[in-house]
Structure 1
């Protein structure tokens, strides 16, 4: 290896250094994001969103299900045209099912309240994921989903964990 390095010009050594640095930076970034997701899965607070009906023609498209949340209607009606993203203030009941209270504006959170990030894109409110991927051939099994279960961290980041039936049992 030392003999090969000695034969490289300064320009090639510089280029090799940039490639190595970039590779390490990308791998570090990817692993950091994976670590953050693992932390959210292990330590995030559970919150559940009721699913809203979706056009049946687009409900099952390949190996995923399009998701829409009932809470999105309340958010859409309270949204101003210039609000494209922010955080929602939610109340959570004893079953961890969330309902929209208001937009979060740095107010103190109540006992059973939390905040979550949202984005408005077109006519759709995006919370975390607007689709749920599953194994091929499992469409009928997941078509009875009534709730999405998420983990949320202190910054309001959401991660979809699983779909639940009307009794809040995992599918």
Structure 2
């Protein structure tokens, strides 16, 4: 009986060490990703995408707006068959509004160009967030959105910062 309790105690210690290690690894990973987002907010270039808002309400999730990007149709026209992710080559005008140029193929960028990551999911071009959640009762206010303002880093990762009206003013 003592031998059985000793083996059980050893198994319990190993399980506890495994649980503690897993939790620590998870916390480190989550905090590292949060730090990356904070750095992107602070140091990322501003880029704006013309939007095509789709659905301003969700009964299960509260008020939100599904976002579609105006460049999505242009991307579909040149997207190679079977390509599900990659990077887009964009030109940015003086107001930081992005315009689709082509699929990025590791060519050198000019100062007016940048690359952004994309993926295809459910036959939609996804850039960053494809939804924007807002306070209940604000659907009419946010339905005026014409642009999404993002921060982009050197790797092409995007982070949605805010929605803008037709005059590029924050909503």
- Give me the TM-score of the superposition, normalised by structure 1: 0.91
Aligned to 2:104: 104
Structure 1: gaps (5+ residues)? 1-5
Alpha-carbon shift at residue 77 of structure 1 (Å): 1.2
Aligned to 1:120: 120
Structure 2: gaps (5+ residues)? 1-5
Aligned to 1:34: 34
1:144 matches 2:144: yes
Aligned to 1:9: 9
Alpha-carbon shift at residue 122 of structure 1 (Å): 3.0
Contact 2:53/2:143, CA 8 A, preserved across alignment: no
Structure 1 moving runs of 4+ over 6 Å: none
Aligned to 1:71: 71
1:60 matches 2:54: no
- 3-state DSSP of counterpart to 1:33: helix
> CA RMSD for the aligned pairs?
1.4
Kindly provide the CA deviation profile for residues 100-122 of structure 1, in whole angstroms up to 9, marking residues without a partner as x.
Answer: 00111110001200000000123
Aligned to 1:3: none
Aligned to 2:48: 48
Alpha-carbon shift at residue 53 of structure 1 (Å): 4.8
**Segment of structure 1 superposing worse, 60-69 or 102-111:** 60-69
1:89 matches 2:86: no
Counterparts of 1:78 and 1:106 in 2: how far apart (Å)? Answer: 17
Number of residue pairs matched? 162
- 3-state DSSP of counterpart to 1:132: strand
- Give me the TM-score of the superposition, normalised by structure 2: 0.91
- 3-state DSSP of counterpart to 2:155: coil
Counterparts of 1:82 and 1:10 in 2: how far apart (Å)? Answer: 51
- 3-state DSSP of counterpart to 1:63: strand
Counterparts of 1:81 and 1:60 in 2: how far apart (Å)? Answer: 33
